[in-house]
Amino acid sequence: MNERAVILNELAQGMAPIAQGVEWFEGLNDTEQFDALRDLAAFCLQASATVEDGPESIRRAGIRPTHTPAVLITRGRIRGQLAKIINLRQDERVKSFRLLVALLGVADERRRERFCIEGCSHAWHHLPT
């Protein structure tokens, strides 16, 4: 895993505080921010995130349900909504980042409980604490 993937997974798993993640994200240039959001969206799909994960993700992200990324995550097919979220305006990026980190956390917790309870070989499930 590359450094960005490790950081994103640590945030999603609660191994690092989201405030630290937001600070890291805000320090990235525009292209790097987009790449981080794109990676998060891909990880969410890999973790089998669903529209039903939206409300809990919004709660964990600490954003309002009326914020654009929050509205999008609860409507329609998840793949299409993730594409819209990662392409939102610059002023929506931090909210999108917080939401996608939370969504990955919710979906990955479910995956761990269902498929990895007795162990697995997923590198992101074996990060050093």
Complete DSSP assignment for 85-97? HHTS-GGGHHHHH
For residue 129, pLDDT beyond 70: no
What is the reported pTM? 0.89
Instruction: For residues 12 and 7, give the distance between their C-alpha atoms in angstroms, rounded to a whole number.
Output: 9
Quick one: average pLDDT of 70-96? 96
Instruction: For residues 103 and 113, give the distance between their C-alpha atoms in angstroms, rounded to a whole number.
Output: 16
Instruction: For residues 106 and 20, give the distance between their C-alpha atoms in angstroms, rounded to a whole number.
Output: 19
The predicted pLDDT at position 121 comes to: 54
The predicted pLDDT at position 128 comes to: 62
HEC secondary structure over 96-126: HHHHHHHHHHHHHHHHHHHHCCCCCCCHHHC
